[in-house]
Amino acid sequence: MTDEKPSEAEKPEEKKAEAAKPEAAKPADAAKPADAAKPAAPAAAAPKPAAKAPEPVIPATAGKFEQFLKEHGIPSERLPLSLTIETIAVSGDVLQSALRLLRNSSEVQLDLLLTVSGVESNDTFDSVYHLWSYSNLDELVIKVLVKKSDVPEGDLPAVPSIANFWSAANWHERETYDLMGIRYANHPYMRRILNPWDWEGYPLRRDYKQLVDSLNDKNPHSMR
Amino acid sequence: MATEIQEIDLKTDEMIINMGPQHPATHGVLRLLLTLDGETVKHTEPVLGHLHRGQEWQGQNRTWFQYQALIDRVDYLSGMFTSWAMARACEEIDGTVVPPRAEYLRVMVSEMNRITSHLLWLGTYLIDLGAMFGFPFYPFREREKLFDLFEEIAGQRMMFNYIRIGGVVRDPKPEWLDKLKRFLDEFPDRIDEYETIVTQNPIFLKRTKDVGILTQAVAKDYGVTGPCIRSSGIPLDLRRTKPYSVYPELKFDVITFDKEGDTWDRYMARILEMRQSIEIIRQCIDKLPSGDIMGKKQMAGMRIKAGEGFSAVESPRGILGCYVISGGGEKALRFRWRNPSFCNLAILPELLKGCPLSDIMAIFGSIDVILPDVDR
Amino acid sequence: MFSNGDEIFKISRLTIVWLAGIFTIVWMVCWGLGIALPMLLTSQLGDKAALTNEILRAATPVIAILVFIPINAMFMVLIERRALALWTVRKGPNRVGPDGNFQTAADAVKLLLKEDITPTGADAVMHTFAPILFFAPSVFGAVPLLAAVTNNHPLFHVLNLPTGIFFVLAAGALPVVALVMAGWASNNKYSLVGGLRSAAQAISYEIPLVLSLITVCLMAGTLDLVKITEQQAGGILNWNLLGGGALTGLNNALAGGGAKALATSYFMGPISYVCAGLLVISLIISFWLYLTGACAEINRIPFDLPEAESELVSGYNTEYSGMKFAIFFLAEFTNLFVVSSITTVMFLGGGDNPIPPYILNNIPGIPQMVAAIRDSYFCSTLHIINPETFFATLWVIAKVYGLVIFAVLIRGTLPRFRIDQLMAFGWKRLIPLSLIVFIIVVFAREFVICHG
Amino acid sequence: MANLISRAFGGLNEVRRGLATVFKHTFREPITKNYPDEMPDLAPHFRGRLALTVNPETGDHLCISCKQCERVCPDKCIEITSHKSPETNKLELIDFKIDHGLCMFCGLCTEVCPTLCIINTNDFEMADYSRESLIYDLKKLTLSQDESAFYFDRKEMPLPKPKPAKPAPAAAAGAAAKPADAKPADAKPADAKPADADAKTVEVKKPEIKDDAKPEVKTEEAKADAKPEPKAETKPEAKTDEPKADEPKA
């Protein structure tokens, strides 16, 4: 709060000149969640003393679905991210078979695909699948992590598409492609869905620069 | 009619019509690229994004405190639910304990919001079906009454900013509860009135019965939620199946129909949900405990612990999910909305195949899609 | 119950003021052109004025209609909006003029001043002619009705045709061409679909409409509108709505004819009674058929598919603006008025008082009042009020606007059909039904002396 | 056939019922109002046009140029110009601009305002002919003494509103006294007592005491966290010297 906010707010008229600043500041803030929390802690001690609690610690025992996938020969890895929902990471190669299995097997029946989201973290692009069930209470989060170092220069990270056998994923994958720039291989209709088809860049990426155009430009009388 | 034309095997050209983005019945700005054979729809391609406002981007570039004021705009007809979904996700990450009074108030205002949302749907749906000049005003009349109550408690009629991370922002006065009770007493009669005009009207029945049948298989494949899928016989109501907040303490049933749902079933499901919401609000008023209403300090530099969380609430249109990744700072690392309208709209091309032009509106209206919710 | 008395009072006042204004203006025009001016000319010029007077007499009704249609449409739009506001618990237009009285006049001025647009790629000639072609029949179609609705006022004698209803129906079938023209010439797919829909719909619904009217003509034995009206005189039991004269015997019996009158009319005993009952039912069904068909014919709401707003934006008139749109608008409301007038003449006894004379004349005060009006200076000397037609016209006005309000009520309640359902409804339900009714009437009327 | 006839009659009957229900509305009072003639009855917490209050008693401007609102505004529609006066070493407000064309009336600025200076009025009629005229400056924003008194009366009277005491005191007291106390603001023992006290006395002369409470709160916060604007806390003392003096006694 104290480190970047006032500078940003006090000189709004300079914001255009420093257009890159928020973007620059954000990765720094986001890069190391733990670090970001620590320098903030002394300053923020006043408003929020609860900051003393560190990262959530997750028991590293294998979850139900991880076990299930292992039994069927699909390697997965539990991620220590959420306290309540089991989060596992699978590799892109086995994603389709894993989801097919989870969806169709009579044991788990994770047949409600809530969303497919794209997340950019420090060194990976994640494609996140939230799976629920129409018939029971199970929840599962599957992540496909694509290392940034693996993505060729000028190319998009690729994840196999599941839209061919699961229609719910169709638009979500298009949206993730549109906003986060993750290419879903073999998607039936890989086009931008929310932005215009000729939009440049992927708005939710950290390195995205907002276009300045005549319409959204600063009004000389406005104080934005 | 259409099938007869095909049997005679006339040579007909397909006609491509752009329905929207500026069309009286697309509830906002949706563009449907229709391929028509006569008046029969061959193929539909929805073109989205005319209302895209970058809500997720804004979530990542505003502080938590600021973003709370913006999310009512995600689904402007059910702002309480968007607020609630975000609040729940953040509370889940943060471990905030919400006071029971706040939880009851949340349930109350959300159910009120569900009623307003369904009322608006009812009015606009009848407009879609052509009853343009009389009936649609009646639901809006009751909706305005609820909005008056919202205005009193939240400050504005639609952009509430009422449910916050940790609780709710203002405690209602006893008079407010009395007003609400009075409204609840007269509202069932009003629903009866709507039903007298609409439910058994022969033209309405003709327009809606056996139109736009949504089979369970298709619905599951597309991840449809909300009244649409409940009317198709799948009892997925988060308030019951995965109860959150104080819903376990309230008495109500999941409304489902046994068969494959057509348009009329979806209409009926919403009518019944309104009646159900009345009962839920009544129970909440009776059980409303005293105490605090806020479990987390509301201030400009509010922070959420690092972590990620997904929370879902049962909005009037289906499961409204919010996936939050927090880095522990003032801003979120990633906001992701799972919008019921977005997912439900995806079945539109499936439902429209082979139906006449007039049914587009009957079917599209019955899914109850809000375009800002689709485009964010 | 009457918590809304204020609004009801306002709307009644508005109605009375407007109607009084409209008909005073129209009647003053007619009187001035058809009575006062010829009287003046005759007194000044003597026989030399005969030709001028003839021309004036012939021109009077047409000018009257041309004066009447725009202001009447203004009033109808206003009353429609006010009535819908009343039924949707609103206030309606109440800003322009006292209590919103001039709202539609202002709207009309706005429409006339708006830019007239012909879309790119449109067929400009047809685009321009379509509204005219749409509007003209509603003017000419209304002409023969004038004599009937004014109880054969001498001014409008000239217009009475022996085949009146036939002419009205023929004129009423013309606008379809205009709609198709408008739809095609607009170079807009929505308009095209709207125009084609309107053609299909009008052709389908013309049949039950005409059949139901033919039923009435069959009962009356004539196509002459004036004669049909005159036959129905004498109270509600004589109206075509209730059996097309099948209850005349009952009426005569009640009027004092006793059992003898009954026996004359229902000469076959029980069979006649049964047939009279059948006729009553048939004619009521015919009435309903006519209303339904007429709604479809003039694109009112359960059948407003050609301009279905939520589907086709605005159908055939999507691309119209300004003056041309105003003419469409005008014609639509005039059509509603014409259809209501036909219903009044054909089914509701025209200018007939629903209370039979044998009751009315026994009410104290009424005969004296009528006599007083008849003997007054206005009637006898200036011929401003013709006692034969004055009350009849009042009744016609009440009936016609009652039907208009009913159409508004329907508009405020019902959703719209789908096009294939509309066709199925027309061809599979209405046409067979109207044929059945027709056949029943053909046979049943042999056993009853109607209008006797 | 019989089925057909009964269906037809059933359908017609339903239509009749519908028509009757619509017709019944003839006798219901309209719910709409003649808006410009009769103004709507708005709730006290309605979030309308933003305005700056003055002390209803003394007429002093309540703004202390702390720029909390400027910082919290999601639309960045507030611009505050202030300078440090050389003699008193305190911030002085020069200009306060709000672009109502950008404002979305979320009310966040009013929530964070430590002195209850910026408020949402019940005015919503701001239509104008140009965007520039929607930018309100200090003069246009500041309410008169009477208006301020009216709004203080209207907004502060009800006890169960978390609005006035919440944001600033919460931060302040949370820092000062009870760190882990996750209670809403007015439940804070430290300032809840005085706040409650003046709430009780509000009936007698609420605006004065209200205003007195605010600067007091402000100073406390300033002492506690001393981080955003070290100059900010000096201002209220200067402004309202004597209320501050008797407040501790209370």
What's the pLDDT tens digit per position in B92-145? 888 888 888 888 888 888 899 999 999 988 888 888 887 777 778 888 888 888
**Token pair of B300, please?**
């400009």
pLDDT tens digits for A84-132?
677 888 887 888 888 888 888 777 778 888 888 888 888 888 888 888 8
| C4 in contact with chain D, both atoms CB, cutoff 8 A | yes
pLDDT, greater one: D205 or D122: D122
**Chain B residue at shortest CA distance from D228:** B301
Full residue range of the structural domain in which residue C68 is found: 1-113
Cβ contact, residue pair B302, A47, below 8 Å: yes
Predicted local confidence at residue B229, as pLDDT: 86
Cβ contact, residue pair B24, C309, below 8 Å: yes
Chain B residues 208-237 with CB within 8 Å of chain A: 220-223, 225, 234, 236
**Token pair of A6, please?**
């006032």
Nearest chain B Cα distance for residue A107, angstroms? 17
Distance CA C265, CA C254 (A): 13
Q: Based on the domain organization, do C93 and C136 belong to the same domain?
A: no
Distance CA C78, CA C10 (A): 13
Q: Based on the domain organization, do C128 and C109 belong to the same domain?
A: no
| D19 in contact with chain C, both atoms CB, cutoff 8 A | yes
CA of D108: how far to CAs of A82, B257, D51, D236, in Å? Answer: 31, 44, 13, 22
Distance CA B341, CA C83 (A): 37
pLDDT exceeds 80 at position D233? no
Residue C119 lies in a domain: no
**Token pair of C127, please?**
């685009």
Predicted local confidence at residue C2, as pLDDT: 63
Q: Based on the domain organization, do C82 and C35 belong to the same domain?
A: yes
**Chain A residue at shortest CA distance from B49:** A194
In our burial notation (b when 16+ CB lie closer than 10 A, e otherwise), range C236-246 reads: bbbbbbbbbbb
Distance CA C381, CA C373 (A): 12
Residue D81 lies in a domain: yes
Nearest chain D Cα distance for residue A12, angstroms? 8
Nearest chain D Cα distance for residue C1, angstroms? 6
- Tell me what percent of the residues of chain A surpass a pLDDT of 90: 0
Interface-testing mutation among D19, D26, D104, with chain B (most B C-beta atoms within 10 A): D104
Mean per-residue pLDDT for B170-188?
A: 87
What CATH number is associated with residue D87? 3.30.70.3270
Does D44 sit behind a cis peptide bond, omega within 30 degrees of 0 on the bond before it?
no
CA of C102: how far to CAs of A224, C30, C71, C321, C336, in Å? Answer: 46, 24, 11, 21, 21
D131's CB contacts (< 8 A; 6+ apart) are A219, A221, A222, D101
| Secondary structure (DSSP) of B164-189 | ETTEES-PPPHHHHHHHHHHHHHHHH
pLDDT along chain C (452 residues), means of 10: 76 86 85 81 79 80 84 88 86 82 87 85 85 83 76 72 82 85 85 85 87 85 82 80 75 75 75 83 88 85 77 81 86 87 85 79 78 74 70 85 89 83 86 89 80 62
Q: Are strands A140-147 and A87-90 parallel, antiparallel or unpaired?
A: parallel
Q: Do chains C and A touch (3 or more CB pairs under 8 A)?
A: no
Distance CA C423, CA C201 (A): 7
pLDDT tens digits for A121-139?
888 888 888 888 887 877 8
Residue C222 lies in a domain: yes
Predicted local confidence at residue D249, as pLDDT: 37
pLDDT tens digits for B180-228?
888 899 889 888 888 888 888 888 888 888 888 888 888 888 888 888 8
pLDDT tens digits for D36-51?
888 888 888 888 888 8
| D5 in contact with chain C, both atoms CB, cutoff 8 A | no
Predicted local confidence at residue C413, as pLDDT: 84
Cβ contact, residue pair D22, C412, below 8 Å: yes
Residue C118 lies in a domain: no
| A45 in contact with chain B, both atoms CB, cutoff 8 A | no
Nearest in space to D220 (alpha carbons), one of D201, D198, D180, D192: D192
> Structure pTM?
0.80
Nearest chain D Cα distance for residue A123, angstroms? 30
Contact predicate C404/C337, CB 8 Å: yes
**Chain D residue at shortest CA distance from A1:** D228
**Token pair of B265, please?**
């079933």
**Chain B residue at shortest CA distance from D68:** B300
- Tell me what percent of the residues of chain A surpass a pLDDT of 70: 63
pLDDT, greater one: A40 or B195: B195
CATH fold of A64-185 reads Beta Polymerase; domain 2 (3.30.460)
CA of B36: how far to CAs of B2, B13, B43, B352, in Å? Answer: 11, 9, 7, 11
pLDDT exceeds 60 at position D211? no
Supply φ then ψ for residue B337, to 5 degrees.
-100, 135
pLDDT exceeds 50 at position D103? yes
**Token pair of B334, please?**
């990633």
Q: How many domains does chain C have?
A: 2
Residue D13: which H helix or E strand, with range? Answer: helix D2-24
**Token pair of A15, please?**
């914001």
Cβ contact, residue pair B128, C310, below 8 Å: yes
Domain boundaries, chain B: 53-340
Residue C316 lies in a domain: yes
Contact predicate B366/B212, CB 8 Å: yes
Sign of CA dihedral C160, C161, C163, C165: negative
Most confident of A215-224, B136-145, D171-180: B136-145
Distance CA B271, CA B126 (A): 13
Predicted local confidence at residue D199, as pLDDT: 39
Residue D178 lies in a domain: no
Nearest in space to D109 (alpha carbons), one of D186, D31, D57, D52: D52
Contact predicate A128/A143, CB 8 Å: yes
Residue D114 lies in a domain: yes
Full residue range of the structural domain in which residue D133 is found: 50-154
Mean per-residue pLDDT for D127-133?
A: 82
pLDDT exceeds 50 at position D241? no
| B244 in contact with chain A, both atoms CB, cutoff 8 A | no
pLDDT exceeds 70 at position D244? no
pLDDT exceeds 80 at position D14? yes
Predicted local confidence at residue B7, as pLDDT: 56
Residue C452 lies in a domain: no
Distance CA D130, CA D134 (A): 7
Nearest in space to B304 (alpha carbons), one of B287, B271, B329: B329
Identify the CATH number of the domain defined by range B53-340: 1.10.645.10
Contact predicate C291/C241, CB 8 Å: no
Predicted local confidence at residue B8, as pLDDT: 57
Predicted local confidence at residue A81, as pLDDT: 64
Cβ contact, residue pair A34, B323, below 8 Å: no
Q: Based on the domain organization, do C83 and C192 belong to the same domain?
A: no
Residue type, D156: E
Q: Based on the domain organization, do C160 and C78 belong to the same domain?
A: no
Q: SS in 3 state form for B255-319? A: CCCCCCECHHHHHHHHHHHHHHHHHHHHHHHHHCCCCCCECCCCCCCCCCCEEEEEEEEEECCEE
Domain termination residue (choose one: C78, C113, C148): C113
Domain boundaries, chain A: 64-185
Question: Across-strand partners of D97?
Answer: D79
Predicted local confidence at residue D170, as pLDDT: 40
Measured from the Cβ of residue C199, the count of other Cβ atoms closer than 10 Å reads 16
Query: For chain D, what percentages of helix, strand and coil (3-state, to nearest 5) are there?
Result: 50, 10, 40
Strands (E), chain B: 15-19, 31-37, 40-47, 163-164, 167-168, 306-315, 318-327, 332-338
CA of B115: how far to CAs of B74, B111, D11, D198, in Å? Answer: 18, 6, 29, 39
| B32 in contact with chain C, both atoms CB, cutoff 8 A | no
Contacting chains of C (3 CB pairs or more, <8 Å) are B, D
In our burial notation (b when 16+ CB lie closer than 10 A, e otherwise), range B26-47 reads: bbbbbbbebebbbbbbeebebb
Distance CA A133, CA A140 (A): 9
Interface-testing mutation among D69, D79, D128, with chain A (most A C-beta atoms within 10 A): D79
Residue of C309, C413, C420 lying closest to B356 (CB–CB): C420
| D9 in contact with chain C, both atoms CB, cutoff 8 A | no
| D22 in contact with chain B, both atoms CB, cutoff 8 A | yes
Cβ contact, residue pair D29, C4, below 8 Å: yes
Average pLDDT along chain D: 65
pLDDT, greater one: A31 or B118: B118
pLDDT exceeds 80 at position D62? no
Band the pLDDT of A220: cuts 50, 70, 90. Answer: low
pLDDT exceeds 70 at position D243? no
Band the pLDDT of A12: cuts 50, 70, 90. Answer: very low
**A194-208, C25-39, D186-200: the lowest-pLDDT one:** D186-200
Q: How many domains does chain D have?
A: 1
Nearest chain A Cα distance for residue B370, angstroms? 15
Contact predicate B317/B328, CB 8 Å: no
